[in-house]
Structure 1
Amino acid sequence: MGEPKDLRISFPPGFLGNPSATPRCTAAEFQAGDESQCPNASAVGVARIEYGDGIEIESTESPVYNLYPTPGYPAKFGFIIQKIAPVTIDAAINPNPPYNVIAEVTNASQAAFLIASEVTIWGDPGSPAYDTERGSCLKGGGNCPVSIDPIPFLTLPTDCSEPLTFGLEADPWEGSEPFKGQASIEDESLPAGALSPTECESLEFGPQFSAEPTSSQGGSASGLDANVDVTDAGLVSFGGRASSTIKKTVVTLPEGMTLNPSQANGLGACSEAELARESADSQPGDGCPLNSKVGSVEAETPLLENTVLHGSLYVATPHENPYGSLIALYMVIRDKELGVSVKLPAKVEADPTTGQLTTTLGEGAYPIPQVPVSHFRFHFREGPQSPLVTPEQCGSYEIKASFTPWSDPTSTFEESSSFDVTSGPTGGPCTTDPDPFGPGFEAGSTDNHAGRYSPVFMRLTRSDTEQELTRLSATFPPGLVGKIAGLGRCGEEAIAAAKARTGAQELASPSCPASSQFGRTLAGAGVGEVLTYVPGSLYLAGPYNGAPLSIVAITPAVAGPFDLGTVVVRLALDLNPITAQVEVNGAASDPFPRILQGIPLRLRDLRVYVDRPNFTINPTSCVEESFSALLFGAALDPFSGADDASVQLSDRFQAADCASLSYKPKIALRLNGGTKRTKHPALQVRITPRPGDANLGRAVLSLPKTEFIDNAHISNPCTRPQFAANQCPPGSILGTARATSPLLDEPLEGLLYFRSNGGERLLPDVVVSLHGLFDVVAVGEVRSKKGRITTTFNNLPDAATSKIVISLYGGKKGLLVNNTNLCAKPRRADSKLVGQNGRRLESRPVVAMRCANRKK
């Protein structure tokens, strides 16, 4: 090997020196003249060197001095070979695990050809045992006592599980290849293991721990301050033994103190590649993105007197971190002046049921370096986007910490620290148990003109002091309905697939077809003034829990760097059979999710937009109505709906400009069958509304005086309980009905029944019972006035129809009986049709029939 240019010696992890143990020598003193003028008190050892010119070999001794370090290094040592060749040794901390000490000689002098060297560093430089070798006395003779504190200069590792191994790398000035090798500190002249650490199990270990959130308000955004203090008198006392260094720390927050969804708003993450770019002299943002920083860290070590090392805490990229976990942190400590760069991952585990947090630093293959630390301070940022939320209830809470020593990894040292929650959110009174529940509710259409298509919105809100929302029932105003015709469906397979996908997958390629989407959502989660909003989509799906249709709310739970999967909430959708009002049945619907992968959502703001073009249409009645909602909140047990609180809320709604709607439907009647007296003709009534007109609200129809009700057919009407149970006797069936609507793909069809009315009227009611996608029931009140049968349908649903056909049976099943020959002359009915906007159309339509000797 050629003459050495650069030398690099790596020390075992935990094998450390204390440059603060002695005074330091300045560069000017070290390089003054032929001999160093360094103070004797700065001497820390002796270098013995063999050198020569290739023919003759000479040897010399030189004191080793503790020098002021080069920028970028924590320590520096130096000695001079025979007055002409200064040699300096820079001590650095390895920027990569295991963060051991590395001694470097760079550009070694060629003034003397180095053959061999032996450098001895004293364990206690101030000891009188070295007075004759110290500094100027090494060559000048005599004693050179110093008055410095007897502080140990070297400390062995506190881990006895591995032998002490040194590494050497050397680069020549020219010629040969670089040399790399390893050597054990063990010498053949010593018994095996003589200089390896022993008796680690007897080392003291007792870190002190304290921690508290930055806010004492319950249920509020908060940072966290945590401190670890280690008193280690043996480390700075010659003859004593240092305490064990910390290998692993586990901190468990109390139940109820969880992650804050608000922090995800604008939060970034640090990838492993970005972490690798973090170095002692990198600038903020060169490595981990600035928006991934959630806190800071400070560290002090007795080995660097009056020095505080500063660092940052970053959110690691979910799942692409050393632990492959959803939540992880990177602790990065950097000091450009000292050349220190330490990067450690921390694993964060959130209980999937309660959200309780456990953070581990030093897990597995990433232990805390064997460097004595007298003080650690972790600070997680405060403010509206703090990473944590305090427990909701006032009281005392405990943060637990477990420390594992390097000296005995099988043992742990337990500590705890308590803090108090003294008020409710925003400093108000402490919350009750259960919390109050008074959420906000608003709803409406963006354009309330009667009969127009318009987007519809709904919003649910709550404050931090209120119970969390768990589910909802909702009822739209009469007449505010959706056009189902032409709208696709999201199938069961697609819904199941959505539940199994990541949020990113769902965003890239929605599971449900676009033809089934009719709206969107925006969910705001978190606490305090700043929430994290996540968009979602609303799709129409098939039957669910007894309802004929369902709404599928699909939300890719992607917020900041976190992907919590795809949230699927299915809501049972039905139509009120009497009013045709749109209803969401909360009892048959899925609850709102409360926690995802250990992160409580804390839903505060839910916005629903039904905005598919030409989907929702306004009523044609301008009577004041309302949106209503029954909201449920988590009471004492947030994981059970058995004790949920509920509150009924409403928001006024009224359509406008109903008078501008026309109303000119057509009505036609026809009697089929026997026309002679005592015959039972069949009756068909056909109503044909015009598109764009107001909807039918009331219908009054008086038959010609020629028609009576055959009393033989009214002796067995259907009772109301029988009708409700769908068990009407066959004899109560009077005919059929069919309604066609532009809002539905298929018409509604059903039967006409004679149904008892509870005694309010002499004659039973005629009830139209329609079935199809939805059930609709219309009740006609039958009266005999001035010898004419009059049927009145009041309060008909405000829903668009294109044709209504009602057919009464004739013959043996016929309800009507002729009291004269129908063909004697034209017969007219009286009709009064009233639109939902109040417009009337009164007419006397001729009843069509088949008569042999006159025109029909």
Structure 2
Amino acid sequence: MGAAPVLARVDVTAVGATFSSLQAGGAPDFGLTIDLSSNPASDDPKDLVITLPQGLVANPLAAQRCPIDAFNADACPAASRVGTTSVVAQIEAPLGPQVTASGDVYNLVPPAGEPARLGVVVRPPLASPQRYQVAVRLRGDRGFVIENSMSGLERTAGGLPIRIQRIQLNLTGQVAGKPFLRMPTACRRAEIAVAVRSWDEPQVTTSRATAFTPSGCERLPFRPRLSGVMGAPGATKLRSHVPVTASVISDPSDAAVAATTVTLPLALGVDLGSLQKLCQPDQFAADACPADTRVGRARLASPLLEQPLELPVYIVQRPGELPALGFRLFGGAILGRTRLGGAVTNVFEGLPDLPLSRFDLTVDGGPRGLLQAVSDLCTPRTRRDAQATFAAFTGVDVTVATPFAVDGCPAGAGAPVARTRYRIVEGLAVSRLGRAVLTLRVSASRPLGRATLALPREVAPLRGSRPIVRVDGRRLGRRALVLRGRKLELRITRPGRTIEVRWAGLRASRALAGAVARGRRAPLTVRLAVVEASGERRAFTLRVRARKL
């Protein structure tokens, strides 16, 4: 019997990542070091795949783009340079020395259909430059990681065989004062993986990873806004099929939205007859929904994109649940959940950690429209208020309430009654021992005269505890705070537009404290009722995600 063949392959022996800052959402300089070894010594690395975690993205529009022809001629403009590289290699010859070749990284004009492409030029001493293109893919099918592929690494330089032992890539955080790199906006462990294939055994892949954890999430703003419009000419009467657009507007430098819950105005309902044709789960997963299950469109604008994305929206069957809206994004599936009960609510979770400036979701009207008016939309008393809760990757939850505009009302229709806009920032922190702190900030466009706050059943006040409450910056006295069980009433003598509550004397249940300690963030229900100075009453059901204290 002959000896077993020795597997020829290249191993990733070490991966190291450095950042000039770990600030979440920041724009740090980034360095990646990859150490390689060959076994046996005859094989060489051929293909390299660097997978960056969700949220660690580069903005290809922040720097000038170098045309491919200029890159191939090593003539990229300086304004397209976004980093440097160095390669350590051993000359494969008797007493061959170890050499280091430096080079540059450029922002290239990507081929059609690619979000970005990088170019790496390595300039070995006494040899011609070596050029590599790095294809960039945003993998929605893998949790929105960023896959960077570089193929065909050279085995020779200047006619001499070489063995690559180390590759160093450095990307600049800012180009000409504009952020080029962006850190994830979640302060949790993130992983960078490197995989390599060799020339002699390309079917064998070896890989290694390194990890980092962004910090400073509490310093990252989160200021999402909601707007909307419903109706169209001829589509405002009772039982009309109504087109509706809900828009989320955000600052791209803020924390990204991880999940959103939008409750439509009470003037809208679902036409159950429109649910006869549904896209099946396997069709949706394969991006093969029938055309007659398309019910709208989504439009996504980001500073990373030259033009907003236009995406079809389908109504998808969810086994054991109500049908829900869904769309495909960068090869991944975003499938919501639908709740009915007085108002129509759509929930979307698993959103990508990407900087967005605007997201519009439109449900079409017409004969096959999904939504219908349950009252005339053009009467002054039309119930137009919508509510949305946004969950940030940083752990902050924000609830906003705003009236939707109505399009298509005939001339002479009465002006709608002006409604108050609200923005509510809520948070609950729980320690391993069960100590809990609730924070709440309510901002309204009109003065508030009274408020009642009901704690979730998993949290109770300690005996004698009283929160710190401020109205327009003025602290309320003890007599203005009436506590009955888990319910706190605020008797405000001087109405104000902001209410701030910090309640530190709380005790979480053992089950809640244990869940938070294990990293679970199940949302809890906090109920808030306010009475405006005008006498108008509003009630909010807030979904608060408990985090570690």
Normalised to the residue count of structure 1, the TM-score between the two structures is 0.43
Instruction: Report the equivalent of 1:834.
Output: 391
Distance 1:683 1:617, change over 3 A: same
CA drift at 1:723? 4.3
Counterpart in the other structure of 1:526 = 90
Looking at structure 2, the residues matched to 843 and 540 of structure 1 have their Cα atoms a distance apart, in angstroms, of 39
- Alignment pair present for 1:515 and 2:515: no
Q: In structure 1, what is the equivalent of residue 347 of structure 2?
A: 792
Aligned match of 1:476 in 39, 47, 52? 52
**Richer in strand (by share):** 2
- Count of equivalent residues: 395
Q: Closer, same or farther in 2 for the Cα pair 1:664/1:853, shift >3 Å?
A: same
Corresponding residue for 1:540?
107
Q: Does 1:601 align with 2:162?
A: yes
Give the aligned partner of residue 302 of structure 1: none
CA distance in 1, matches of 2:108, 2:285: 27
User: Shift in Å at residue 478 of structure 1?
Assistant: 1.2
CA contact (8 A) 2:83 2:106 kept: yes
Q: 1:545: Cα distance to partner?
A: 10
AA of the residue aligned to 1:443: A
| 1:662 alignment partner, one of 207, 221, 234 | 221
Worse overlay, 686-695 or 796-805: 686-695
Rate the CA distance shift 1:445–1:768 in 2: closer, same or farther, 3 A: farther
Corresponding residue number in structure 1 for 2:459:
none
Whether 1:818 and 2:368 are equivalent positions in the alignment is no
Q: How far is 1:849 from its partner? A: 1.8
Is residue 183 of structure 2 the alignment partner of residue 622 of structure 1? no
> Given the alignment of the two structures, is residue 582 of structure 1 paired with residue 146 of structure 2, yes or no?
yes
8 Å contact kept, 1:707–1:789: yes
Shift of 1:717: 2.6
Q: Return the alpha-carbon distance in structure 2 between the equivalents of residues 553 and 577 of structure 1.
A: 26
Q: Which runs of 5+ in 1 are unaligned?
A: 1-430, 499-509
CA RMSD of aligned residues (A): 2.8
* 635, 642, 649: which one aligns with 2:208: 649
Residues 435-493 of structure 1: CA distance to partner in whole angstroms, max 9, x if unpaired?
A: 67352112242211011111122111024656532211121111111112243333232
Q: Deviations over 1:208-252 (max 9, x none)?
A: xxxxxxxxxxxxxxxxxxxxxxxxxxxxxxxxxxxxxxxxxxxxx
Does 2:418 match 1:844?
A: no
Assess if the C-alpha contact under 8 Å between 2:10 and 2:37 holds in 1.
no
Tell me the secondary structure at the aligned position of residue 844 of structure 1.
strand
Structure-1 separation of matches of 2:120 and 2:52? 18
Contact 2:11 2:38 in 1 (8 A): no
Q: Which of residues 762, 779, 804 in structure 1 aligns to 2:334?
A: 779
Give the direction of change, closer, same or farther, for the CA distance of 1:720–1:549 in structure 2 (3 Å limit). farther
2-structure distance, mates of 1:471, 1:436: 10
Distance 1:813 1:542, change over 3 A: farther
The Cα of 1:648 is off from its aligned counterpart by 2.8
Classify 1:802/1:725 alpha carbon distance in 2 versus 1 (closer, same or farther; 3 Å). same
1:453 pairs, out of 7, 27, 31, with: 27
Query: Would the aligned equivalents of 2:57 and 2:146 in 1 still touch at CA under 8 Å?
Result: yes
**Does the 8 A contact of 2:16 with 2:34 survive in 1?**
yes
Cα pair distance change 1:719/1:826, threshold 3 Å: closer
After TM superposition, the structure 1 stretch with the greater mean CA deviation from structure 2, 465-474 or 695-704, is: 465-474
In the alignment, what sits opposite 1:187? none
Identity %: 23
Say which SS state the counterpart of residue 515 (structure 1) adopts.
Answer: helix
Larger Rg: 1
Alignment check: 8 A CA contact 2:9 2:38 kept? no
- Contact 1:620 1:694 (8 Å CA) reproduced: yes
Alpha-carbon separation, structure 2, partners of 1:597 and 1:690: 50
2:314 alignment counterpart: 753
Cα deviation, residue 798, structure 1: 1.0
Q: What secondary structure, in the 3-state scheme, does the structure 2 residue paired with 1:602 have?
A: strand
The answer for the alignment partner of 2:268 in structure 1 is 707
- How much has 1:768 moved relative to structure 2? 3.2
Asked if structure 2 preserves the Cα contact closer than 8 Å seen for 1:517 and 1:612, the reply is no
1:733 is the counterpart of 2:294: yes
Contact 1:780/1:791, CA 8 A, preserved across alignment: no
Given residue 820 of structure 1, which amino acid in structure 2 is its aligned partner? S
CA contact (8 A) 1:678 1:817 kept: yes
Q: 1:662 to 1:491 in 2, by over 3 A?
A: closer
Instruction: Give the whole-Å Cα distance in 2 for the aligned partners of 1:597 and 1:449.
Output: 43
Cα distance, 1:580–1:438 mapped onto 2, change above 3 Å: closer
Compute the displacement of 1:751 (Å).
2.1
Partner of 2:471: none
| Partner Cα separation in structure 2 for residue 591 and residue 436 of structure 1 | 14
Structure 1 partner of 2:461: none
| Aligned-partner Cα distance in 1 for 2:119–2:262 | 43
Q: Distance in 1 between the 2:293 and 2:373 partners?
A: 20
Q: Relative to 1, partners in 2 of residues 1:749 and 1:829: Cα closer, same or farther, differing over 3 Å?
A: same
TM-aligned CA distance change 1:719 to 1:551, over 3 Å? farther
Which deviates more, 530-539 or 452-461?
530-539
CA distance in 2, matches of 1:600, 1:574: 32
The answer to whether the 8 A contact 1:551-1:572 is kept is yes
Question: What letter matches 1:556 in structure 2?
Answer: R
* Cα distance, 1:544 vs structure 2: 5.5
SS of 2:79's equivalent?
helix
Task: Report the TM-score, using the length of structure 2 for normalisation.
Answer: 0.66
Q: Which residue of 2 aligns with 1:768?
A: 327
Q: Which amino acid aligns with 1:849?
A: V
Letter in 2 for 1:551: L
- 1:554 to 1:783, Cα distance in 2 relative to 1, 3 A: same
1:242-284 CA distances to partner (integer Å, 9 max, x unpaired)?
xxxxxxxxxxxxxxxxxxxxxxxxxxxxxxxxxxxxxxxxxxx
Query: Quick one: distance in 1 between partners of 2:229 and 2:113?
Result: 39
Counterpart of 1:551? 118
The one-letter code of the counterpart of 2:108 is A
**Match among 563, 566, 570 for residue 129 of structure 2:** 566
Higher RCO (CA 8 Å, separation ≥ 6 residues): 2
For the residues of structure 2 that align with 1:756 and 1:600, how far apart are their CA atoms?
58
Q: CA deviation at 1:821?
A: 3.3
- In 2 relative to 1, CA 622–633 (structure 1 residues): closer, same or farther, beyond 3 Å? same
Deviations 1:801-850 (A, max 9, x none): 11222221112242102233343433322211111101111123222225
Displacement of 1:597 in angstroms is 4.5
Partner Cα separation in structure 2 for residue 596 and residue 703 of structure 1: 64
Letter in structure 1 aligned against 2:373 = N
The Cα of 1:569 is off from its aligned counterpart by 1.5
Answer yes or no: is the 8 Å Cα contact 1:549–1:572 preserved in 2: yes
